[in-house]
């Protein structure tokens, strides 16, 4: 596929704010792309060059891209840097500059009849894998050669791919809808495609299989080691008593709920890899957990689901999440292993000795997990009590709170209690200490905008506009503006922290009422935890918007609690959850 053809689709996606039109464009693109290119096309649409878990890092900072533009165009680096600083973006400059082809570039990219999608992908992968002495010079030269081989429109998108600023407005669910439309003319196939995607976490792989083998091939996609599975999510209720109503099981497992980081561990012999909730490879950050899994799991191959928690073994108590965040680092890992000891608390088994266990009932998975796990300093099985009444669940909940835990996760023990990757299921319901107070709820919301500060906040941001994720429509819908709860230092740092996600206009996946439009727009990337008093109807916000009644739902008296770096935007509180919370308030 010619890269110029793909660029024409990029431009059409960029030009529309309509999810329906975007889906139709993506369906057309799926039909146009070849079997060889379709996986790369999917990655590029999402602004990636490989599946997220592959951790492909181009290692291109703004300075290196400026050097590449200077090398390609024959201009002075300071001149290029000054233009970017004073006039616009790197991608706009790449399109505007005159960049002649030089024969010396032929050693890096051989292009005679225009760039192909394969050429661009190969070039970016060469940049990502360049290492050792002279690697930065090689990265710069490869990028310069690619820019020289491209026309002005292609140069803009190559630069955006290289700098991680693609932002076409299409999310992974919209891309899945496009595939479904291409095959069936509607969204009807999305559940099947979604399940396959959540099982393998590689949207390009799903697209390629669909292209090659049709829907039957997609249904055959199985769990694979070192391909993370999207974690199963929990529901919430307004009253503890509702748990017994929602979980249709005579026996309910009340598992301990921890204030830690969700981690999926893959064991293949002596090799262990750890993946975060966002499917990032964080193996190097937890060498103690790696050793705990390697020596404490009596299986050749296994995939575990659990939570890493900061743990004071001397006192026998779990530490708060903020303490654990000290372990999220690339450097000085050994120092912080000693300073912040952790424990990997395992609560599920997804794969064992070559077979997926996700379709087995929860009690069976738990029993297998107990058989193969030997507790140690860094590894243990989650605490759990089987309950048959609300009173027993409340006893387990109260006991957990006394030991510094967050609450309970109630899980069905019925024969259909399967593990549903990526889904928010009524098989699992969380009950936290915050829910004991009638007028408070915590939400994980996505920052999509900010209001300019006034008075003592002048020159910074006065508040941030936050949104929930509408899973069905693959859009972000506003819930509230948050201006309290931030420390003075956090407020002062906000503009710099959010700068990389700044947009000149409203991102296409964000739905905002005119009266709530912010002074600054941001791509939906940062998630924060927010505490509020109640969910109310509001004409100012779009969450679960009712066109007939001209209202959505809003969070009253919102207050910033903490950043949630381990959560992706699509893992934020859903619009459906907020609708349920509103209904639970009314019934209470």
Q: Are 220 and 196 in contact (CB under 8 A)?
A: no
DSSP-derived 3-state class of residue 109: coil
From the number of C-beta atoms within 10 Å of its C-beta (0-12, 13-18, 19+), residue 330 rates as exposed
Q: Are 345 and 309 in contact (CB under 8 A)?
A: yes
The neighbouring-strand residues paired with 407 are 257, 432
- The CA distances from residue 27 to 10, 22, 75, 163, 197, in Å, are 13, 9, 41, 27, 17
3-state secondary structure 472-523: CCCEEEEEEEECCCCCHHHHHHHHHHHHHHEECCCCCCEECCHHHCCCEEEC
Q: Which residue has the tokens 């030089």?
A: 102
Alpha carbon distance 472, 118 (integer Å): 33
Query: Between 190-200 and 203-219, two packed helices, what is the crossing angle to 10 degrees?
Result: 120
C-alpha 104/C-alpha 8 separation (Å) is 29
Closest to 318 in 3D by CA, of 380, 393, 265, 240: 380
DSSP states of 529-581: EEEES-EEEESS--EEEETTTTEEEEESS-EEEEE-TTS-GGGSPBHHHHHHH
Closest CA to 511 of 556, 448, 554, 566: 448
The residues, any chain, with a CB within 8 Å of residue 402's CB and separated by 6 or more, are none
**Within 10 Å of residue 314's Cβ, how many Cβ atoms?**
7
Active site residue 138: no
What's the residue count for the chain? Answer: 588
Asked whether the CA dihedral 143, 149, 151, 152 is positive or negative, the reply is positive
**3-state SS assignment for residue 574:** strand
Of 429, 434, 341, which is closest to residue 379 (Cα–Cα)? 341
- Separation between Cα atoms, residue 320 and residue 314, nearest integer Å: 16
186-215 b/e with 16+ CB inside 10 Å = b? ebebbebbbbbbbbbbbbbbbbbbbbeeeb
Instruction: Single out the catalytic residue among 208, 211, 257, 411.
Output: 257
d(CA 143, CA 342): 42
CA 563 to chain centre: 14
Q: Strand locations in 313-414, DSSP E?
A: 317-318, 342-352, 355-356, 379-381, 384-387, 407-412
Tell me the backbone φ, ψ of residue 525, rounded to 5 degrees.
-135, -40
Largest CA distance in the chain: 78
* Residue ranges of E strands in 388-471: 407-412, 424-432, 441-452, 461-470
Cα separation, 537 vs 558, whole angstroms: 15
Active-site residues, by number, are 257
């Amino acid at each position: 596929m010619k890269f110029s053809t793909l660029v024409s689709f990029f431009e059409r996606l960029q030009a529309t704010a309509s999810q329906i039109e975007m889906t139709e464009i993506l369906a057309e693109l799926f039909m146009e792309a070849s079997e060889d290119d379709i996986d790369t096309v999917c990655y590029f649409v999402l602004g990636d060059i490989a599946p997220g878990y592959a951790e492909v890092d181009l290692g291109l900072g703004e300075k290196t891209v400026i050097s590449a533009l200077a090398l390609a165009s024959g201009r002075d680096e300071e001149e290029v840097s000054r233009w970017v600083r004073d006039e616009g973006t790197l991608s706009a400059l790449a399109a505007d500059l005159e960049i002649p082809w030089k024969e010396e570039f032929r050693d890096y990219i051989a292009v005679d009849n225009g760039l192909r999608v394969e050429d661009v992908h190969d070039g970016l992968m060469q940049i990502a894998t360049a290492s050792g002495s002279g690697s930065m010079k090689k990265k710069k030269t490869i990028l310069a050669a690619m820019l020289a081989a491209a026309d002005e429109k292609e140069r803009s998108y190559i630069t955006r791919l290289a700098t991680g600023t693609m932002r076409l407005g299409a999310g992974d669910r919209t891309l899945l809808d496009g595939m479904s439309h291409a095959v069936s003319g509607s969204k009807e196939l999305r559940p099947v495609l979604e399940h396959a995607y959540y099982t393998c976490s590689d949207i390009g792989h799903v697209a390629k299989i669909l292209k090659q083998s049709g829907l039957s091939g997609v249904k055959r996609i199985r769990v694979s080691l070192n391909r993370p599975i999207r974690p199963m999510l929990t529901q919430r209720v307004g009253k503890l008593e509702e748990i017994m109503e929602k979980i249709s099981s005579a026996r309910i497992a009340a598992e301990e709920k921890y204030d830690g980081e969700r981690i999926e561990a893959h064991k293949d012999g002596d090799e262990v890899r750890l993946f975060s909730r966002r499917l990032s490879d964080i193996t190097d950050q937890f060498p103690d957990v790696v050793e705990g899994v390697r020596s404490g799991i009596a299986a050749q191959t296994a995939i575990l689901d659990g939570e890493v928690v900061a743990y004071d073994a001397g006192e026998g108590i779990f530490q708060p999440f903020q303490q654990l965040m000290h372990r999220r680092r690339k450097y000085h890992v050994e120092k912080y292993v000693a300073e912040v000891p952790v424990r990997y608390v395992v609560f599920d088994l997804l794969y064992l000795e070559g077979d997926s266990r996700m379709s087995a009932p929860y009690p069976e998975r738990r029993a297998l997990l107990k058989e193969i796990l030997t507790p140690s300093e860094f590894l243990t099985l989650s605490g759990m009590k089987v309950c048959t009444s609300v009173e027993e669940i409340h006893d387990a909940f109260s006991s957990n709170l006394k030991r510094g835990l967050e609450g309970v996760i109630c899980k069905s023990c019925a024969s259909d209690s399967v593990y549903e990757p990526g889904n928010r299921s009524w098989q699992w319901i969380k009950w936290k200490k915050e829910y004991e107070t009638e007028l408070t709820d915590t939400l994980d919301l996505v920052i999509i905008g900010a209001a300019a500060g006034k008075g003592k906040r002048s020159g910074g941001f006065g508040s941030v506009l936050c949104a929930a994720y509408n899973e069905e429509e693959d859009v972000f819908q506003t819930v509230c503006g948050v201006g309290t709860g931030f420390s003075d230092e956090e407020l002062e740092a906000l503009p710099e922290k959010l700068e990389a996600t700044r947009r000149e206009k409203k991102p296409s996946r964000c739905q905002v009422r005119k009266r709530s439009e912010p002074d600054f727009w941001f791509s939906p990337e940062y998630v924060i935890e927010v505490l509020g008093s109640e969910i109310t109807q509001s004409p100012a916000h779009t969450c679960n918007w009712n066109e007939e009644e001209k209202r959505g739902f809003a969070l009253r008296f919102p207050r910033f609690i903490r950043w949630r770096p381990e959560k992706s935007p699509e893992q934020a509180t859903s619009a459906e959850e907020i609708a349920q919370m509103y209904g639970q308030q009314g019934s209470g």
